[in-house]
Amino acid sequence: MRAIPLTVTAVAAALLLTACNGGGGSGSGSKNGSACRIGGVSLEVGAASVAPAAGDTGEVPVSITNHSKTCTLENFPGVVLRKDGTSAKLAAQKGAKAQTLKLAKGDAAAFTITYVRGKDGDAGSLAATELKITLPGDDTAQSFPWRYGPIAGQGASTKPNASVSAFQQAGD
């Protein structure tokens, strides 16, 4: 008779520990109430350091300012480059480590898109026209025009030679 109460107690304890996890370990961000949302923040694509010629590296800064209650940025931003029906999701920069940032109302953060410029008209380059950004834990995307030239492909135009940095605290 004692086996059943001990088993029930063990299962209940395991469930309690699982519930305390918070779910922040996934690569795409957790779906929690504290995640920063596109509707509660403003995104701005800043003045870029444009790659002038094929093979050169360029950087495009993106800033995020919170206009609502305190929210959290964890993991990496979602960035997709698109042209017509072709889209490519950018990977995190090699060696970059995600950090969790809490943004109070008025606080800002930033990340950088780094890319290698491709040759104009090259089938292996992605001549992107649109940049779509999502925040971890939010599926809503905000679109911006891509005005920085074609992105060199890594074997194919759907694998652009571009990446995103981790979020960094911005401002004071």
Percent of the chain whose pLDDT exceeds 70? 79
Beta strands in 40-160 (DSSP E): 41-45, 57-66, 71-73, 78-83, 86-89, 91-92, 101-103, 108-116, 130-134, 141-145
Percent of the chain whose pLDDT exceeds 90? 66
Three-class SS of residue 5?
Answer: helix
Could you report the per-residue pLDDT of 16-59, keeping only the tens digit for each? 332 333 333 333 444 456 999 999 999 999 888 999 999 999 99
In sequence order, the 6+-apart residues with CB closer than 8 A to the CB of 118 are 54, 124, 125, 126, 127, 149, 150, 151, 152, 153, 161
CATH 3.30.1310 holds for 40-170: no
